[in-house]
A and B are shown apart, each in its own frame.
Chain A
Amino acid sequence: MLIRLTNVNKSYRLGRVDVRALDGIDLDVDRGDFLALAGPSGSGKTTLLNLIGCIDKPNGGRVVIDGVDVTAVPLHRLAATRRDALGYIFQTFNLIPVLTAYENVEYPLLLQNVGRRERDARVRRWLDQVDIAAQAKQRPDQLSGGQRQRVAIARAMVAEPKLVLADEPTANLDQATAAHILDLLAKLNSETGTTFVFATHDPAVMSRAHRCVRLRDGRIAEEARALVA
């Protein structure tokens, strides 16, 4: 078991109104899962992803990642967990604009103080893996959406995390590019055994997921497993 959420609640204030984003979520994610958190806007899937990603805290309940109860630790103390155990893929790619594709992928390894030679080898391997090596020296504004997302995937994977969280990874891509990206993520999942959790309302992503958890009004409404996992 990589992730265990037990009776997780999260509410936040929107103006003068308290909004209950998550209400008593219980969820287990196994190692190697390829899981989609689906649901309409406001259903709580991004909030759930943020809690799993250790960038937000629940108001109640426990979030255990790889055996560590992250709810017991202040967020700023979880930087090492985020650095070593987690990878992020964002809807809007969120690459660092002043860095080249190579440097963006290199960044997580610098955080881990990986030596220069090993760093270079790993960055090049991952740029190859996501088929973006030819654009290594280009900055994000010189890349297409699909290319940017490939760089973002390489950046999320280069530190070899146990878990990659992807928030609407195909939402800003055209259908063909989205399909390629999904193929790539599925391949990485099967080849590396890395656990992937997506927040999505893209049916294509849901159809590729081994497991799909549907959220509605902050609760788990339905869960489905693919026949072939």
Chain B
Amino acid sequence: MITRIAFRNVFRNRRRSAITLLVIVFGAVGLILFGGYKQQTFRGLRESTIRSRLGHLQIYKRGFATNEAKKPLEFGLDNVAELRRAVESDKRVKMTAAQITLMGLISNGDKSETFLATAVEPRKEKQMNGQRLVSGTDLPENESDAVILGRGLATSMHAKPGDYLTLMTTTSTGSLNAADVRVAGIFMSGIKEYDDRAVKMPIAGAQQLLQTKKVERLIVMLNETDDTQAVRADLARRLPGIEMKDWSELASFYHQVVLLYNGIFGFLGLIVSAIVVFSVANTILMSIFERTREIGTLMAMGTTRARVARMFLAEGLVIGVLGAIAGVVGGALLANLINRGHIMLPPPPGYTVGYPLRMLMSPSILITAAVISIVTATISSIVPALKASRMKIVDALGHI
């Protein structure tokens, strides 16, 4: 009977209830859209960070992270072919890619700049596809002296595909070495600061320049991101003498974005909840004011205070449930519409390319929005419900 009364009372003043429901629906839709956008951004950023740069796991020689290297590649991996075979024997591993990072000076004869080079295996690098070629070609597979430059660095060096530049760095034995390299192409990653210093070169060229056979790290790419920890544990058991980091330990930018978005989402949720609380509380308080004599009558007939309170809590709950249903349906439809609209967003700070506005619709987002709507609406009816239950019967009956 309590639910029946609550349900009918919600529809007693239809206009007022409709406005309250609209507030809850807007709140729920807002939560769903922002939640979907947030999840999509997290997933997109996570996967692009993993697939284009970090890999799921990075394997180093034991001691790499804890010891300060006095010379380049002092803690490099010696026998990478054997290590690679062992790692790739796991079916969850999609591929491995060796890498070396080095820094030094790059010169066009007139001008020098510092560079930050990543030496890669060109064939593997193509699969990771982390950058966009602006001009020229990608790194050729069998040409150790070819490089591709970040767009900012190419501009600074006045370099175009086919030009020759000189790279100078410290070798693994501590001496200085230089090599002439041919600019095969120019790329952009989307991050300006990186593109202003970035060089990509083949592993063979870097090993010649550094006068070593070692590589710095082996990047492990998995088929599924969810397998990361399991594969890490298996490799740690099977391969002594190495140490590993997973993508999460390396992706500081990803974590900063997650933290920022969660903060914004939390704040937004608080604002939405506050609006819903005030709106629902106002509706129920108005309803109580109008129904004071009715409350007096119910209590005169022997309805307990607790039952009266439950009656108004049930009204908050009914409003919350109706709002949540409409909000979830509306939010999911709107998100679907936006996803089909292929809307492009402007580049975020530090990036040079925009990205599509997409919302991930996972059950957890819809459930969270629904639960927040229902709980908030119910909570906001607590104070009015207590107020109603504590009315003096005589005063309530005499209320006009």
Interface set, chain B 1-25, CB cutoff 8 A to A: 1, 4-5, 8-9, 12
**Cβ contact within 8 Å between B299 and A110:** no
Report the tally of A-B residue pairs with Cβ distances under 8 A: 65
Nearest CB in chain B to that of A87: its residue: B301
**Per-residue CB proximity of B59-84 to A under 8 Å, as 1/0?**
00000000000000000000000000
CB-CB < 8 A to A53: which residues of B? 300
CB-CB < 8 A to B4: which residues of A? 99, 103
User: Within the complex, what minimum Cβ distance (angstroms) separates B252 from chain A?
Assistant: 58
CB-CB < 8 A to B301: which residues of A? 82-83, 88, 107-108, 111, 155
**Cβ contact within 8 Å between A55 and B302:** no
CB-CB < 8 A to B12: which residues of A? 97-98
Query: A76–B300 Cα gap in the complex (Å)?
Result: 10
Query: A110–B311 Cα gap in the complex (Å)?
Result: 14
Query: A99–B4 Cα gap in the complex (Å)?
Result: 9
**Cβ contact within 8 Å between B9 and A79:** no
CB-CB < 8 A to A84: which residues of B? 302
Interface set, chain A 66-116, CB cutoff 8 A to B: 75-76, 79-84, 86, 88, 90, 92, 94, 96-99, 103, 106-108, 110-111
**Cβ contact within 8 Å between A55 and B8:** no
**Cβ contact within 8 Å between B5 and A90:** no
CB-CB < 8 A to A86: which residues of B? 302
User: Within the complex, what minimum Cβ distance (angstroms) separates A55 from chain B?
Assistant: 4
**Per-residue CB proximity of B375-396 to A under 8 Å, as 1/0?**
0000000000000000011100
CB-CB < 8 A to A56: which residues of B? 393-394
- Is A177 positioned at the interface, with any CB of B under 8 Å from its CB? no
User: Within the complex, what minimum Cβ distance (angstroms) separates B236 from chain A?
Assistant: 63
User: Within the complex, what minimum Cβ distance (angstroms) separates B286 from chain A?
Assistant: 16
Nearest CB in chain A to that of B302: its residue: A83
Nearest CB in chain B to that of A76: its residue: B305
Q: Which of B5, B298, B300, B397 has the most CB of A within 10 A?
A: B300
- Is A7 positioned at the interface, with any CB of B under 8 Å from its CB? no
**Cβ contact within 8 Å between A96 and B298:** yes
CB-CB < 8 A to B392: which residues of A? 75
- Is B114 positioned at the interface, with any CB of A under 8 Å from its CB? no
How many B residues have CB within 8 A of the partner chain? 22
User: Within the complex, what minimum Cβ distance (angstroms) separates A179 from chain B?
Assistant: 25
Query: A77–B4 Cα gap in the complex (Å)?
Result: 26
Query: A111–B300 Cα gap in the complex (Å)?
Result: 12
User: Within the complex, what minimum Cβ distance (angstroms) separates B301 from chain A?
Assistant: 6
**Cβ contact within 8 Å between B304 and A99:** no
**Cβ contact within 8 Å between B8 and A50:** no
**Cβ contact within 8 Å between A88 and B300:** yes
User: Within the complex, what minimum Cβ distance (angstroms) separates A24 from chain B?
Assistant: 21
**Per-residue CB proximity of A114-137 to B under 8 Å, as 1/0?**
000000000000000000000000
Query: A103–B293 Cα gap in the complex (Å)?
Result: 18
CB-CB < 8 A to B393: which residues of A? 55-56, 75
Nearest CB in chain B to that of A94: its residue: B297
Nearest CB in chain A to that of B307: its residue: A111
User: Within the complex, what minimum Cβ distance (angstroms) separates A198 from chain B?
Assistant: 16
Query: A97–B12 Cα gap in the complex (Å)?
Result: 9
CB-CB < 8 A to A92: which residues of B? 293
Return the contact of A99 from the options B5, B299, B307, B394 (Cβ within 8 A).
B5
Query: A76–B304 Cα gap in the complex (Å)?
Result: 7
Q: A53-B300, A79-B303 are in contact. Are A94 and B394 (CB under 8 A)?
A: no
Return the contact of B300 from the options A82, A99, A103, A110 (Cβ within 8 A).
A82
- Is B294 positioned at the interface, with any CB of A under 8 Å from its CB? yes
**Cβ contact within 8 Å between B294 and A94:** yes
Query: A19–B194 Cα gap in the complex (Å)?
Result: 86
**Per-residue CB proximity of B280-316 to A under 8 Å, as 1/0?**
0000000000000110011111111101000000000
**Cβ contact within 8 Å between B394 and A96:** no
Q: A76-B305, A96-B5, A98-B12 are in contact. Are A55 and B294 (CB under 8 A)?
A: no
Nearest CB in chain B to that of A95: its residue: B297
**Per-residue CB proximity of B36-80 to A under 8 Å, as 1/0?**
000000000000000000000000000000000000000000000
Closest 9 CB pairs of A and B: A83-B302, A98-B8, A82-B302, A55-B393, A94-B297, A79-B304, A56-B394, A110-B1, A79-B302
14 A-B residue pairs with CB within 8 Å: A75-B393, A79-B299, A80-B302, A82-B300, A82-B302, A83-B301, A83-B302, A94-B297, A96-B294, A96-B297, A96-B298, A98-B8, A108-B301, A111-B301
